[in-house]
Amino acid sequence: MNVLTIGGAMVDTIVTIASDKIEQMKMLNAESSYLLLEAGLKTEAEQIATSTGGGAVNAAVAAARLGNATSTVVKLGKDAKARTILDRLTGEGVDLRWVAMDEEEPTGASVIISSHDRNAAVFTYRGANTRLGPDDLPAVAFEGKDLVYVANLSNQSADCYPLIVERAKAAKAELAVNPGVRQLTARYDDFWASLKHIDILCVNRSEAQALMPRLLQSFGEGGAPLSVRSGEPIPPLAKRGLRNGGYEMSLVKFLGALIEVGVGVVVLTDGANGAFIAKGQDLYFREASHVVAAATTGAGDAFSATFACYQTKTKDIGRALSAAVLNAASVVKFVDTQSGLLTHAGLEKELENAAAQPQSLYNWSI
């Protein structure tokens, strides 16, 4: 299968801090929590590591390890960080012909602080990631692709989103989109117009709640709760629904609305609480694998890219969902976003082992 990924490329500096070295504050009546750094204090770290990251690079490495012929469209600066990213992509067998270099901005970089529940706080400098233009997205880059995977886009790069959608569909590729909150808010009109063209939409709970306001205009708030068979546990997100600005929308209504406006498959992840998949009138849920997490950064990219690759190739939602859960679980065992990504053979073995265990894949009607 031929895969093209589009979006961000970063060099990550990952700082792991013991929980007793940094304070955490959790809100009682909100979903937010905070890591507190004392001003003027030098805090000892357990580890400081550097690795490559960014949505498009993470997805490209995931797709390549799964045995796909993979290329990527990203924009880098002319600096040492760019060489780090290019070396990683080359080592993974990713085609570099569509990688663009920017004359003015440096390569994107981030500092990731991982502590307590390892749900990292991230400081991001996007740099050249914001400067993709139409000339960086030639139609020939899309030709022959089975899957075009679009990661988070920002600023000038986000202006190219309608062109990306147009060229992916002209090439008759499956279009998978994993947007960020900024893209869903600052450029909502472009995203809304594209929904009927998206074959696979991947969002986490925060992104889903950013997407809610426009859906509310067309479908209203509220909605019926999830109806489950007797004895089946109800996942937390199915109980509480989605909330934004004082408005609420049930999980069933949210997913059903996206299907109604034309999205082929909707993927909604809720971290350690599992993931939902909606297609047609069917709603699937899979519990997350229980592992000791070194860091959670990159789990979403691993999940989305793996699901998109498996779904495009096999058209088997249950298998794609299980594969995505297992690959994401493998990623969180490592502090960086790519070391845990499994090869196709490794993931197939994990799927075989999982099949021998009691299944936690549920299917409900929406």
What residues of the chain score a pLDDT lower than 70?
27-31, 116-120, 228-231, 356-362
2-28+45-365: CATH class: alpha beta
Query: What is the pLDDT, as a whole number, of residue 79?
Result: 96
Query: What is the pLDDT, as a whole number, of residue 163?
Result: 97
Query: What is the pLDDT, as a whole number, of residue 31?
Result: 66
Q: Are 137 and 73 in contact (CB under 8 A)?
A: yes
* Residue 218 φ then ψ, to 5°: -95, -30
Tokens standing for residue 341: 């990504």
Q: Are 26 and 74 in contact (CB under 8 A)?
A: no
Other C-beta atoms closer than 10 Å to the C-beta of 314 total 12
- What lies within 8 Å, CB to CB, of 290 at 6+ separation is none
Question: How many residues does the structure list for the chain?
Answer: 366
Strand order of the sheet with strand 265-269? 69-73, 2-6, 147-150, 174-177, 200-204, 265-269, 275-279, 282-286, 361-365
Query: What is the pLDDT, as a whole number, of residue 280?
Result: 92
Beta bridge partners of 64: none
pLDDT tens, 116-142? 666 667 888 999 999 999 999 999 999
Query: What is the pLDDT, as a whole number, of residue 46?
Result: 80
Strands of 118-273 (E only): list them: 121-125, 147-150, 174-177, 200-204, 242-244, 247-249, 265-269
Q: Which of 216, 150, 157, 217 is nearest to 186 (CA)?
A: 157
Query: What is the pLDDT, as a whole number, of residue 287?
Result: 87
Query: What is the pLDDT, as a whole number, of residue 295?
Result: 74
pLDDT tens, 59-90? 999 999 999 999 999 999 999 999 999 999 99
Other C-beta atoms closer than 10 Å to the C-beta of 274 total 21
Scanning the structure block, which residue is given the tokens 């991001």?
124
Query: What is the pLDDT, as a whole number, of residue 358?
Result: 53
Query: What is the pLDDT, as a whole number, of residue 208?
Result: 95
* Residue 240 φ then ψ, to 5°: -90, -25
Alpha-carbon gap, residue 173 to 167, rounded angstroms: 9
Distances (CA, A) of 67 to 240, 312, 342: 39, 13, 10
Angle between helices 299-314 and 55-65 (to 10 degrees): 50
Strands of 7-157 (E only): list them: 10-16, 23-26, 33-36, 47-53, 69-73, 75-77, 100-102, 108-114, 121-125, 147-150
* Residue 326 φ then ψ, to 5°: -70, -40
* Residue 266 φ then ψ, to 5°: -110, 130
